[in-house]
Structure 1
Amino acid sequence: MNNKTIFYLARHGQTEWNVAKRIQGQLDSLLTAQGKQQARLLAEQCRTLNITQILTSPLGRAVQTADICGQILQLSPIQIKGFEERHFGDWQGKYTYQVNTLSDYNEITSQITDCKPQQGESSKQLLARFENTLRKELTSAAKDVSLIIIHGDILRCFMAQFVPSLTPNSQSQEIASTGYDYKNAELIALSYDPESGTFSSL
């Protein structure tokens, strides 16, 4: 018997800080006009997917995206603690050019390790937080089809498991580059098997 739960992940729409190339982390900025349009187009994509609930990060840019989708899909988004973007510590609010010459920049932004900005969260910590929350939500609403609005670094870390070249073997998980930039409002279809606790890309 197939008890897999179908769900969809999407990054929030474009923000003012995305355009300015500032690191948001758990700080925030408003959606641009383009970001709002991306959210509307995302909702239109979802019209035929039988979405029954919208779950969202509590951060403003994700809530703003989810609210636009909710208006179109006639659903009230639910904010989920644990779906927040990675906390980038001292880097938050800085422009990319201010930190991208640091020796640990590539490890922090393009790998999945314990390395983290000062006062921040590592990619491994982020991934554990997100996956634990996601499993809990999908298990408690197994019959729902969820649209989940989250963030770029969550997607980078979570989706690495579906890239063949990044499949863990020996120590490769520590050094593999996962620097794929998931586009604003890009829709990703996945499934979750509660019996095995595994995720699959559709």
Structure 2
Amino acid sequence: MSKVKNEKARSNRENGKIEKSLGFMSSNSNSNAKIRFYLCRHGQSEFNAKGILQGHLESPLSPLGITQAQALALKAKLWEISYIVSSHLGRAQQTAHICAEFLNKEIHHSQRIEPQSTAELAERHLGAWQGKAVAQLTEFHQFNTLCYQQTHLTPPNSLEPDNSPERINSLERIISLGKSESTDAVRQRMQQALRNIAQTTGVNADSSSRELNVLVISHGDALACLMSQFTQPIALNNTQGMLLTYHHDKLQWGGLID
């Protein structure tokens, strides 16, 4: 029984961290609002253009990436976005701010859209592969073909591969130690982040709002991990995305979006 209580307490602590990092008011109230999540990959980064694996490393948007983010902003206007939340990594935040700046100019909301960010929407931590050229990593291609089915596998944290079951890390250990992540770990934190965003945006929304649209800017592999919970994952192009809905405490697949 004590183990169950400890696990529940740890989960509550992690959920509190997510809400705090988003900057929303926390609440135990449940909202009946239906939340549409437009989850999109960030614009092309400089590392993307050079074929280098990023993971948690920083790399700004390339000129093409800035253009892609501006095109995404045009789509976001059609989606009637009320909130924008991104990964805490720079390329995702940069994309989110470009979209918010455009929407605030084009649409006269009663309140400006101020992008929020959270580490729980970050890219998969790729361990020793971060900063390496994709073309030179045969092991990465092998991992990429297996990781969405054998969801316990993790990239190596050193140059020596180690994909034992012990490598599955809790969210708390991943954040504190910077360990490479399994598909299971990424999927879990992504889903929990979306639930927290849905609950907090629903609570803070106008009482007359029954449907809310949220733009979420994340990363290619992280989104593929989340996608694998619902359907066969594909590699998303920069600023391509997918739609999930949250209603009555459930996330539902809504298909791919360009």
The TM-score normalised by the length of structure 2 is: 0.66
1:148 maps to 216
| Corresponding residue to 1:54 among 60, 84, 98 | 84
Q: Which sits farther off after the overlay, 61-70 or 90-99?
A: 90-99
Deviation string 1:73-110 (CA, Å, 9 cap, x unpaired) is 11221112311111001110011123224695335655
- One-letter amino acid matched to 2:154: K
- One-letter amino acid matched to 1:15: S
| Corresponding residue to 2:184 among 85, 110, 124 | 124
Aligned-partner Cα distance in 2 for 1:186–1:103: 22
The 1:47/1:115 distance shift into structure 2, 3 A limit, reads same
Aligned-partner Cα distance in 1 for 2:148–2:253: 22
- Tell me which protein shows more helix as a share of its residues: 2
2:129 maps to 91
Aligned-partner Cα distance in 2 for 1:32–1:107: 28
1:35 maps to 65
Q: Which sits farther off after the overlay, 132-141 or 111-120?
A: 111-120
1:172 maps to none
- Describe the SS at the equivalent of 2:246: strand
Q: How many residues align?
A: 186
State the shift of 1:68 in Å: 0.6
| Corresponding residue to 1:12 among 32, 36, 42 | 42
The 1:92/1:109 distance shift into structure 2, 3 A limit, reads farther
Ranges in structure 2 where 5+ consecutive residues have no aligned partner:
1-31, 105-112, 158-179, 206-211
The 1:109/1:15 distance shift into structure 2, 3 A limit, reads farther
Query: Equivalent pairs: percent with the same residue?
Result: 35
1:76 maps to 114
The 1:146/1:115 distance shift into structure 2, 3 A limit, reads same
2:251 maps to 198
Structure 2 contact 147–182 (Cα < 8 Å) conserved: no
Structure 1 contact 108–117 (Cα < 8 Å) conserved: no
The TM-score normalised by the length of structure 1 is: 0.84
- State the superposition RMSD in angstroms: 2.0
Q: Answer yes or no: is 1:159 the counterpart of 2:227.
A: yes
- Describe the SS at the equivalent of 2:217: strand
Structure 1 contact 115–123 (Cα < 8 Å) conserved: yes
State the shift of 1:21 in Å: 1.0
- One-letter amino acid matched to 1:139: Q
State the shift of 1:162 in Å: 3.5
